[in-house]
Chain A
Amino acid sequence: MKRTGLLQAAGLIGLIAMATTATAQDDNQLVVNGEIEMITDAPAPENIGGLKTIYSGWRFRQSEMQALQMDDFENPGAYAIDEGVEMWATAEGSEGKSCASCHEDIEDSMAGVRAVYPKWNESKGQVMTLAQQINDCRTEQMGAEAWKYDGGDMTSMEAAISLQSRGMPVNVATDGPVAETWAKGEEIYYTRYGQLELSCANCHEDNYDNYIRADHLSQGQINGFPAFRIKTGKLTQTHNRFKGCVRDTRAETFSPGSDEFVALELYVASRGNGLSVEAPSVRP
């Protein structure tokens, strides 16, 4: 046969070489407002197979887009911070309370919070995302209605809370009580969904730094979320991003806030353990 084993082997070696020599597009340094130094690359966490170095999505963007994130006056996602901070102090619901009634100052009480979410909630006996925790405070403490999981209010509040951890390294737990959820997230990450049969790993682990049509593939990290997307002109919640990527494999997606996406968020967040919290980031 013409298609010899050799030819195939050569093709495979070529691909493997491409994957391992891939690096982020540049060595640019991300410093926000001239003062917050971000870690945009780090050694891959030990329990993450297939990657040696982890990179923030920022490193794969073109310099004009990178610049938008370096100054909050330029950052088109910054509007959400003001919105979130305002809602923080707004009383809502049957208890007449605001977030500030319990947590006081957002700067002090929320510093470091984003970096460790999703995390185990002892009283509920489950892993909770930041969005779930926010809604839990609304329904259980304030007597207010839950926000739409990936709606505008939620995304702005997440941005305002995440901002208080900007620059801190992501550090979500992967063992102990969360181990089972983490393993479920890992399984989802490597499952080839949809009629295109593509897993998250096919694009973001095997092919980061390659191009799929015009798109420069990053590692699909979520340290920058919520992220302002130039394409949609608004701040995007993590599960909304996941949904778009699953849809693009011609698959039936999971819903924002579903058990599957909560598990996936924990796992993907842990792939970025060591990168700085960047929200609100600016992405294509």
Chain B
Amino acid sequence: MKRTLILAAAMIGSGAILAAETVSSADVVYDEYGSIAASLSGTAGDPVNGIEVMSSRSQGNCVACHQVSDLSAAFQGNVGPSLDGAADRWDEAQLRGIVANAKITFPDSIMPSFYKETGYIRAGNAYTGKAAGDELTTLLTAQQIEDVVAYLATLKE
């Protein structure tokens, strides 16, 4: 009984911290090259979940455009460059900036902005073809982006 209470209190506590430290898409601070220094979620990224986010069609589906030798996802595309060795080319802040909004690092990039909520033309309600209405959320959550960044940081050659 006592234990449950403490557990419950701990959960409420961590939930509150999480909410407080998540940076909303409107409040993200990019430097002039497009990097984001601070974590978007305040919680360390989980590279294993990052793999899931990058490979899954319903999440990041990064492999639609990028080839990553380390990933087992079938049919990796080549619209973007291979991400092998990405961590040799970019540091963590840069990777976070690219995943959150690649168009700041690469002006006019074809790469979607995964942490942006406004500025779209005829935004839809996911893949239904219908108008988004008020439903629009970022393509990935702050934590999903941190997870992807944590995985990308392992891609060294």
Contacts and interface: CB of A to CB of B under 8 A. Distances in A.
Contacts of B75: 211, 213-214
A15 B63 CA distance: 17
B73 to A, nearest CB: 9
Interface string B112-137: 11000000111111111111100010
A6 to B, nearest CB: 11
Interface stretch (A105-113, A145-153, A155-163, A243-251): A243-251
B94 interface: yes
Contacts of A253: 124, 129
Contacts of A196: 112, 139
Interface in A181-236: 191-198, 202, 206-207, 210-214, 217
A210 B77 contact: yes
A252 B78 contact: no
Interface residues on B, range: 35 or more
A192 B112 CA distance: 10
Given A202-B110, A207-B79, A192 B121 contact: yes
B82 to A, nearest CB: 10
Interface in A1-55: 1-3, 7-8, 11-12, 14-15, 18
Contacts of A3: 33, 35, 89-90, 94, 105
B64 interface: yes
A257 to B, nearest CB: 15
Contact of B131 (A18, A243, A252): A252
A247 B63 contact: no
Contacts of B90: 2-3
Contact of A250 (B78, B81, B94, B126): B126
B28 interface: no
A256 to B, nearest CB: 11
Nearest to B90: A3
Contacts of B153: none
Given A3-B33, A202-B110, A213-B64, A247 B127 contact: yes
Contacts of B74: 214
A248 B65 CA distance: 14
Contact of A247 (B76, B105, B124, B139): B124
A249 B77 CA distance: 17
A36 B7 CA distance: 76
Contacts of B91: 2
A212 B77 contact: yes
B122 A252 contact: yes
24 contacts: A2-B90, A3-B89, A3-B105, A12-B106, A15-B81, A18-B78, A195-B132, A196-B112, A196-B139, A198-B110, A206-B110, A210-B77, A213-B63, A246-B129, A247-B124, A248-B127, A251-B121, A251-B123, A251-B124, A251-B129, A252-B123, A252-B124, A252-B125, A253-B129
Interface of A: 1-3, 7-8, 11-12, 14-15, 18, 191-198, 202, 206-207, 210-214, 217, 243, 246-253
